[in-house]
Structure 1
Amino acid sequence: MNTSWRSASLVATAAAVLVLTTACGQETSSVGSQSVGATAAAGGFDSSGTGTGTGAGAGNGYGADGQQGSADAPKPAGQLAVSANAELGKVVTDSAGMTLYRFDADTAEPPKSNCDGGCATAWPPVPVDDATAGAGLDKALLGEVTRSDGTKQLTIGGWPAYRYAKDTQAGETSGQGVNGKWFALAPDGKKASLASLPGLSVGKTELGDVVVDKNGMTVYRFSKDEAWPKSISACTGSCLEKWPAVAPVAENDVKGIVKKGLMPFTRPDGVKQMSIGCWPIYTFSGDKKPGDVNGQGIGGTWFAVSPDGKPIGAPK
């Protein structure tokens, strides 16, 4: 029995190695590879500190630069509605079609708003006054909270509701993900999300089609990494804070991307990371919402990943 088991184990191991060799061994990179150990310095991970893009969330910390004056009189909400957003699913809008948001620094139980002063100028609180529930909204989820200035603010599912000063037209959702704390309101008061997305799929950006994670965030490659069979990530320490490793994804949880070289591996620091085309993949902390590509080209070493697993715009 022991001999049979050992033979079967050796056959399985050999088969696994053969599969990986077939998937990754012939892959040639369009980026010059360097022999960088797992603990080598990851220079160029973000030399500017913030990236080269202009995503929402920079400046005064509220996500609406230069808008810290006195707030105008709040506009009434009227009959609330549920709108279908191609990126976020169902979101709550006011009678003018403007997206409503919630703030992670607030609380829902009990309801409390922590957005005052310049914050309330960038994110005008929605008054409760004439707010009513339209189709798709449960009126029992509508409530109110008394703000620090004594005014009454609308709550949905307990969460204080806001508009965003940079949204100027009905249906805009430019406030989504600002500073990692502001999110469009779903009809149940939760954050509107892309939970229905596969673990990895294809998203639309100014660079064209790119690989995105389950949250719709752009996926990147680092040219100082090494592909399989070494599978070494040169992004460690503070680099990994700016460029979080994409967690392993099941092969049946991907859509629209080439599956060659799609495999997980364990980094020397114990973190489990996904790879595409046998290269480790990451997201960028400077991307605040789906469609952002603020990490593109940083340090001349970070590039968004195309659906075929290649780095977009990398030097040949």
Structure 2
Amino acid sequence: MVFTACKKNSSDEPTTPVNNNKGIQLATDAKFGSVLTDKDGKTLYFFSSDAAGIPTCTGGCETTWPLYYSADASTDLNLNKAEVGEVTRADGRKQSTYRGYPLYYFAGDAAKGDVKGDGVGGIWFVAKPDYSLMLANAQLVGKVNGTSTNFTNTYAVGDGKTIYLTDNKGRTLYAFAPDKNGLNTYTKGATQEGIWPVYESEVLNVPSAVAKTDVGVITVATISKKQLTYKGWPLYYYVPDINRGDNQGFLVGKTPGSVWPVLQLNATVAPAQ
């Protein structure tokens, strides 16, 4: 008997798929749904202390939360490219942003698809393209007699960060103290809405520190608009908050925070109608 050896055709050899992804990508997570990742599928994060769009994770913080930057335009056809940007940090390095939020990695994510950094400290969250609310962890600042003054979360003069709600681009949201649960008592018409516009949004997704069951939508009949609520409190903007991260509306009224408080994460439920 004669045996002949056959050389395996090179086309039969297993091949490693080529990753042609560039820039920010979208991935689907079983728990969080759509999340932002780098080109290799590694999860990206938002930092609540960066609500103003300025990177505040510096020094030792970067050991745990390395910054993410890519000069490449995203190749993901499902990503809204208009929301992608970049910021130059104080030390001159560039950092990619989404909706103005600087993007970071979490050092504890060892593998593609890990989301172990979500919820760390109550201020780090997976970066998602579809949050309807975000959280700021920031100093309350307002002008008193023309002087910029810091306030605590109890509206006393002093230093200390407050965790409060913003829209998905870092704009501060407020409650109107006379409102009732699910009832806007302020907006009588479009002209009155001028300085305190309602926050229009559907209930999409929220950071994991926010209970989605605490978020709702009401219809403001006087202006025929939908308004998002948190713990029953209708949510408003303050027009003089010109810059992202501004939160000076709490000073409107005789006593700071008595009429137009920022909507803090630990707010009590709005009173019944």
Greater relative contact order (CA < 8 Å, ≥ 6 in sequence): 1
Fold match by TM threshold 0.5: no
TM-score by length of 2: 0.42
Decide which structure has greater helix share: 1
TM-score by length of 1: 0.37
